[in-house]
């Protein structure tokens, strides 16, 4: 039998160190919120492959749609011979996105490609170069995406100078101690110190910072950014790669706000485990780039488009955004009850909209000092007892829960029972 240890040792010999791994196991198979390793051990999956599996592992409708597409063709390159699943998905995304007016979409493969292309599109539409992003943000690891990403370690260290014309404003959150007013003031400083507003093509923000620790952008910030963009002809881009598709209790997290963006980036749970991303936006902005300037050999792969169409059906049929609300309430209620107990580690802020729930581990009860060591230990203990969990946050002391929205109450409670043990002092 192949063992996890064998595969780990082959991995270490053959695969680069720069690609990290949370657990030392290799998967054999997975269904909904459960995963089995190559030695037959079962795990509850609270990671969803980093926010990709809102519809769970191998949702039968997603698999059936992909199998049907497999029997027709797997690739033509949309730029060479078009196909209906791509066109239909663009139509459905345009109809769903919370942006008024005629919309158009472009499909790609990864989240980083979506954020990069959103910036390219904004630059083409405005004929400007500058971009403002936020500290603590994560927009991907490719050259332009990592320039947008607001975290040096481990995303920028040793990789040379970041691409120019990108500036970061502080993200307002209790953790950063920055208010909305201060954050907007910093953008004003950027306008004065680095690049006037007439040189800024886009402002890009996650409605809820994902890797940054599940901090939700305050409504007042979003209104302020919308105002700035309107005043100066700047494209307002939101990155919904992690928040998208039901996770926050609405299809898009932007539905929680009373302002809308010009462009939205999507990926991850859009295609239930198949590599697909997209940029959706106002047609007047999206259509400026010349033919050939956007796209990619595999961009909008037909198998991934078929999967995404099935994901959108499942979201609607199984009312997954509503289910996310209920899961979120259950998780937050459970965490609140556990937090007051003396036999568990010190848990601080419990936060996040819908089922995008996270909590901080701190050194002392009622304190704010981040405890990254204990956080690591909790994740390791959870894994040893059969629960796959992820951390996040700029101080590496946040535990995030991204359980599939299709998971049964029993499976979620089984996962929470393991988490309870892992949180014990
Ligand atoms: C908000 C956000 N944007 C972009 C990305 C990059 O996506 P990918 O890893 O598919 O390139 C991520 C990935 O975690 C993300 O969370």
How confident is residue 175, by pLDDT bands cut at 50, 70 and 90? confident
- Three-state DSSP at 239 gives strand
For residue range 176-221, list pLDDT tens digits in order: 899 999 999 999 999 999 999 999 999 999 999 999 999 999 999 9
Confidence (pLDDT) at 395: 93
For residue range 67-118, list pLDDT tens digits in order: 999 999 999 999 999 999 999 999 999 999 999 989 999 999 999 999 999 9
| Residue 237 Cα to ligand 1 middle (Å) | 14
Q: Does position 119 have pLDDT exceeding 90, yes or no?
A: yes
Q: Quick one: average pLDDT of 229-258?
A: 98
Which of 49, 107, 140 for a ligand 1 pocket mutation test, highest count of atoms within 8 Å of Cβ? 140
Instruction: Tell me, using a 6 A CB cutoff, whether residue 47 lines ligand 1.
Output: no
For residue range 282-311, list pLDDT tens digits in order: 999 999 999 999 999 999 999 999 999 999
Element (H, E) at 334: helix 320-339
Question: How crowded is residue 167: how many other Cβ atoms within 10 Å of its Cβ?
Answer: 18
Cα 95 to chain centroid, rounded: 21
Round to whole Å and give the CA distance between 399 and 389.
Answer: 7
Q: Quick one: average pLDDT of 164-184?
A: 96
Instruction: Report which ligand 1 atom has the smallest distance to the Cα of 112.
Output: 11
List of long-range contacts for 1-9, beta carbons under 8 Å, 24+ apart: 1/38, 1/39, 2/26, 2/38, 3/38, 3/39, 4/37, 4/38, 4/39, 7/38
Q: Does position 148 have pLDDT exceeding 90, yes or no?
A: yes
| Residue 138 Cα to ligand 1 middle (Å) | 7
| Residue 242 Cα to ligand 1 middle (Å) | 7
Share of the chain above pLDDT 70, in %: 100
Round to whole Å and give the CA distance between 150 and 206.
Answer: 11
For residue range 321-342, list pLDDT tens digits in order: 999 999 999 999 999 999 999 9
Q: Quick one: average pLDDT of 227-233?
A: 98
Instruction: Tell me, using a 6 A CB cutoff, whether residue 35 lines ligand 1.
Output: no
Instruction: Tell me, using a 6 A CB cutoff, whether residue 403 lines ligand 1.
Output: no
Confidence (pLDDT) at 106: 98
Query: Tokens 């919120």 map to which residue?
Result: 33
Average pLDDT of every residue of the chain: 97
DSSP annotation of 294 reads S
CB 271 within 8 A of CB 108: no
If you write DSSP's letter for every residue of 75-121 in order, what string do you get? ---TTTS--HHHHHHHHHHHHHSS--S-EEEEEESSHHHHHHHHHHH
Which of 267, 273, 277 for a ligand 1 pocket mutation test, highest count of atoms within 8 Å of Cβ? 267
Instruction: Tell me, using a 6 A CB cutoff, whether residue 138 lines ligand 1.
Output: yes
| Residue 275 Cα to ligand 1 middle (Å) | 12
Which of 47, 49, 112, 271 for a ligand 1 pocket mutation test, highest count of atoms within 8 Å of Cβ? 112
For residue range 371-390, list pLDDT tens digits in order: 999 999 999 999 999 999 99
Round to whole Å and give the CA distance between 208 and 218.
Answer: 9
Q: Quick one: average pLDDT of 156-161?
A: 91
| Residue 154 Cα to ligand 1 middle (Å) | 15
Confidence (pLDDT) at 1: 86
| Residue 274 Cα to ligand 1 middle (Å) | 14
């Amino acid at each position: 039998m192949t063992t996890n240890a064998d595969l780990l040792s082959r991995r270490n010999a053959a695969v680069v160190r720069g690609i990290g791994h949370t657990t030392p196991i290799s998967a054999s198979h997975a269904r909904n919120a459960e995963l089995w390793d190559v030695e037959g051990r079962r795990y509850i999956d609270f990671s969803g492959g980093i926010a990709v599996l809102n519809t769970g592992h191998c949702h039968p409708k997603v698999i059936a749609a992909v199998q049907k597409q497999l029997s027709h063709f797997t690739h033509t390159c949309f730029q060479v011979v078009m196909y209906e699943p791509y066109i239909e998905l663009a139509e459905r995304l345009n109809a769903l996105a919370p942006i008024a007016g005629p919309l158009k979409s472009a499909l790609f493969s990864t989240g980083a490609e979506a954020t990069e292309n959103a910036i390219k599109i904004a630059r083409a539409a405005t004929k400007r170069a500058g971009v403002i992003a936020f500290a603590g943000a994560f927009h991907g690891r490719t050259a332009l995406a990592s320039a947008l990403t607001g975290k040096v370690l481990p995303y920028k260290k040793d990789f040379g100078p970041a691409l120019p014309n990108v500036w970061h404003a502080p993200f307002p959150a209790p953790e950063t101690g920055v208010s909305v007013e201060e954050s907007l003031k910093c953008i004003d400083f950027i306008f004065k110190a680095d690049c006037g507003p007439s040189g800024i093509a886009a402002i890009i923000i996650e409605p809820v910072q994902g890797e940054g620790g599940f901090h939700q952008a305050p409504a007042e910030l979003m209104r302020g950014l919308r105002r700035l963009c309107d005043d100066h002809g700047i494209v307002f881009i939101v990155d919904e790669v992690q928040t998208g598709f039901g996770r926050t209790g609405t299809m898009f997290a932007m539905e929680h706000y009373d302002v809308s963006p010009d462009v939205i980036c999507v990926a991850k749970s859009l295609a239930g485990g198949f590599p697909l991303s997209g940029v959706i936006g106002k047609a007047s902005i999206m259509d400026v780039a010349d033919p050939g300037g956007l796209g990619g050999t595999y961009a909008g792969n037909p198998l991934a488009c078929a999967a995404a169409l099935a994901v959108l059906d499942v979201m609607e049929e199984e009312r997954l955004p509503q289910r996310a609300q209920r899961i979120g309430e259950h998780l937050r209620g459970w965490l609140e009850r556990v937090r007051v107990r003396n036999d568990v580690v010190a848990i601080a802020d419990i936060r996040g909209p819908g089922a995008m729930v996270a909590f901080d581990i701190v050194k002392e009860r009622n304190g704010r000092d981040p405890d990254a060591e204990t956080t690591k230990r909790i994740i390791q203990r959870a894994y040893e007892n059969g629960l796959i969990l992820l951390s996040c946050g700029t101080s590496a002391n946040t535990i995030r829960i991204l359980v599939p929205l299709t998971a049964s109450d029993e499976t979620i409670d089984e996962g929470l029972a393991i988490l309870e043990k892992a949180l014990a002092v």
